[in-house]
Amino acid sequence: MCFGSFATLGPAMAPGKTGKSTGPLEDPSVTLFREYLRIDTVHPKPDYEAAIQFLERIGTDLGLTGKTVDLSPGYVVLILTWPGTNPHLRSILLNSHTDVVPVFEEHWTYPPFEAVKDSQGNIYARGAQDMKCVSIQYLEAIRRLKTEGKSFARTIHLTFVPDEEVGGHKGMEVFVQRPEFRALNVGFALDEGLASPSDTFSVFYGEKSPWWIKVKCMGSPGHGSRFISNTAAEKMHKVINSFLAFRESERQRLKSDSSLTLGDVTSLNLTMLEGGVSFNVVPSEMAVGFDVRIPPTMDLKAFEEQVAAWCRDAGDGVTYEFFQKCMDQNVTSTEESDPWWKAFSGACSVRKLQLKLEIFPAATDSRYIRAVGHPAIGFSPMNRTPVLLHDHNEFLNEQVFLRGIDIYARLLPALASVPPLPTEG
């Protein structure tokens, strides 16, 4: 699911695939953004070391204190800190991930790691929206505020974490259990959101629970020329029909109610099929995998009972197991009485930003932050922008990027100046 002045200004990139400079000087924040995009942190072998060194360089330039936390070999969290004037107060956490998803380069107009900028100012690169933009926007907003001589009561921490794009199991999920995370004394966190094609800005106060379910069907084997009874394939057919009938009912519910977003319904997709050894042999075992994303409004226990019923109805020898089963359904308060939300929404109101509150349709590292008791909002300031996260030709316009810095330069003072809460004395 990002300001101030540099000693050196970087050149703009001319349209085309070469990435060579032929145009006028560009805003130094954009130059920095494009430099980050050119660091290849794509799975399955992200260059985390290069990304951390790049971010550490910026942190040093900004006068931020920095430390790294080794979670496991090759998996490092960078923490940059802008101390507040009252370190006893809970801090503001600005989180972003350094990894990006793979690309199918043949479908891209420009090479996905050259950060080409076209004549309209659109910057094409993997990570342009998800979420290297936000990382640089955080840093450049802090640059602007520090240049203006600002200081705030609450400490601001920036965390740059690995592994988010493959589940965060070696990243944020581990990090939130570490003493280094607890030492951050987090009060409120910002993390990634999504682009919005409309004038509104999407704000995510919760996430779906991702469940990956594998259903195994056992049945009678035999020769492919015979009508074998009680086959694994017949049972699988019933299982698939049950799951996909539910999928269609949720799709129709979303389609028929304009007040609903994708985050309000359960999405379900068949993603894997396994079974068979030969064309002329009826297999004794087949398996099917489903990716299910469940909103926090659904009763998780009741839904698992439904899954169990679908399997029972398919016949004997049908079992299921979970490869991922997130049970956390925490959501962040968006009540005006909540001091964090009041600060966030108030700063947006000053900028006349139209906010659309949503449940995130997929999953981000915010779920791990909420799970350990901290309010977190997913927000990427990209409106009037097509949603291209994980898609071909992912891009972000430089003016949208620069406006995002302006927005964070308003948000951070509001959040870091929230008065002491009752729990803080």
State the amino acid at position 355 in one-letter form.
Answer: L
358 is catalytic: no
Question: Tokens at residue 155, please?
Answer: 């400490």
The residue from 26, 99, 114, 398 that is catalytic is 99
Q: How far apart are CA 356 and CA 353, in angstroms?
A: 10
Question: Tokens at residue 158, please?
Answer: 């920036």
Parallel, antiparallel, or unpaired for β 91-97 and 156-161?
parallel
Please give, one letter per residue, the 3-state secondary structure of 221-238. CEECCCCCCCCHHHHHHH
Residue 165 marked as a ligand binder? yes
List C-alpha distances in Å: 1 to 18, 202, 324, 349: 27, 12, 21, 23
The residue from 164, 173, 365, 398 that is catalytic is 164
99 is catalytic: yes
Closest by CA to 15, choosing from 398, 281, 332, is 398
DSSP state of 420: P
Cis preceding-peptide flag for 131 (omega within 30 of 0): yes
Residue 392 marked as a ligand binder? no
Closest by CA to 207, choosing from 135, 255, 264, 259, is 264
SS3 (DSSP) at 156: strand
Sign of the C-alpha dihedral computed for residues 357, 362, 365 and 369 taken in this order:
positive
Question: Tokens at residue 86, please?
Answer: 């009252």
User: Which are the contacts of 281, defined by CB distance < 8 A and separation ≥ 6?
Assistant: 221, 222, 223, 224
Residue 192 marked as a ligand binder? yes
Are the C-beta atoms of residues 290 and 233 closer than 8 Å to each other?
A: no
List C-alpha distances in Å: 378 to 69, 95, 299, 325, 364: 24, 10, 23, 21, 8
**Residue with tokens 């507040």, as numbered in its chain:** 84
Parallel, antiparallel, or unpaired for β 65-72 and 75-82?
antiparallel
Helices of type H across 176-299: 179-182, 232-256
Closest by CA to 133, choosing from 403, 399, 410, 396, is 396
Residues 334-365 as b/e (b if ≥16 CB within 10 A, e otherwise) read beeeebbbbbbbebbeeeebebebbbbbbbbb
Q: Which residues are annotated as a binding site for Zn(2+)?
A: 97, 130, 165, 192, 390
Q: Which residues are annotated as a binding site?
A: 97, 130, 165, 192, 390
- Hey, which residues are catalytic here? 99, 164
